[in-house]
Amino acid sequence: MVICITGASSGIGEATAARFAREPGARLVLVARREDRLAALAARLPGGPHTVVAVDLTSDDAPARVRAHVEEQHDGRLDVLVNNAGAAWRARFDEGGWENVRKTMALNFDAQVRLTEALLPLVRASAPSAIVNVASTAGRVARGGTGAYSASKFALAGWSDALWAEEREHGVHVGLVLPGFISTEGFPQAELRASPRTRWMVSTADKAADAIAQCALDRRPERYVPRAYWIPAALRIVLPSLVRRAIGGSSAQVMTTTTKADGE
């Protein structure tokens, strides 16, 4: 079984690599920009041989490079594609403007779509197979200060639903994972973890990895992490005024900005 995981150099992607490496016969294709981190991970995981592609997924040639790698190193076999790489740059719209939306969409949405387009023929040829897209509960409920991030994750969730319906006839399952607050390098959740009142809200990358594996291997269509986060998502639909009151104003404070993606 060949599994390609983007954003495998840290956080949820790294935990997902460790989770899939436990599957018998798993061979991983680890994708991100930091080659040293990917190579070290590939070397220490069981099974394999695992391979790495060090690439900026927003670059024009990234999809073709990943596809060529899978064709050359894994005979074109691709059983699972996990579109996980992503980042958040917190800014109100009147601060970050279109440029922040453009930058966020380029990584969190366009890059996933472009990579999927390039790899879909290989995934179909390997069916029964799966694509798992990592969105966010911010792709169901938006808060002030994170509009660009929410826009990218709402887009990813909507596109994933359509792809799920379209690819069924080809034997390709499309799963969607919506994490809540997970403590990782890019999303440390330091403020939530600092207080005993909010610490319980923060989950682990291993739990997100289990959900991703469940979507891919057990063909689950959708998983929130933690599971109870489906409740605010449902409330946003049935009681929108309640959710607006709950998140109004101060909510932007709890999301921590990642800065490493553009060196800010």
Ligand X SMILES: NC(=O)c1ccc[n+]([C@@H]2O[C@H](COP(=O)([O-])OP(=O)(O)OC[C@H]3O[C@@H](n4cnc5c(N)ncnc54)[C@H](OP(=O)(O)O)[C@@H]3O)[C@@H](O)[C@H]2O)c1
Residue from 96, 175, 179, 226 binding ligand X (CB under 6 A): 179
Distance between CA atoms of residues 188 and 193, nearest Å: 9
In the 8-state DSSP scheme, what is residue 23? S
**Which one of the spans 28-36, 120-128, 158-166, 214-222 is the region binding ligand X (CB under 6 A)?**
28-36
By CB under 6 A, is residue 181 in contact with ligand X? yes
Distance between CA atoms of residues 98 and 247, nearest Å: 23
CB of 95 closer than 8 Å to CB of 47:
no
Largest CA distance in the chain: 54
Min dist CB 50 to ligand X, Å, is 15
Distance between CA atoms of residues 78 and 100, nearest Å: 33
Residue from 3, 107, 122, 176 binding ligand X (CB under 6 A): 107
Q: What would the two tokens of residue 118 be?
A: 């390039």
**Cis link prior to 196 (omega < 30° from 0)?**
no
Residue from 1, 52, 53, 86 binding ligand X (CB under 6 A): 86
By CB under 6 A, is residue 58 in contact with ligand X? yes
229 has catalytic annotation: no
Min dist CB 106 to ligand X, Å, is 8
- Contacting positions for ligand X (CB under 6 A): 7-13, 32-34, 56-58, 84-87, 107, 134, 136, 179, 181-182, 184-187, 258, 261
Which residues are designated catalytic? Answer: 149
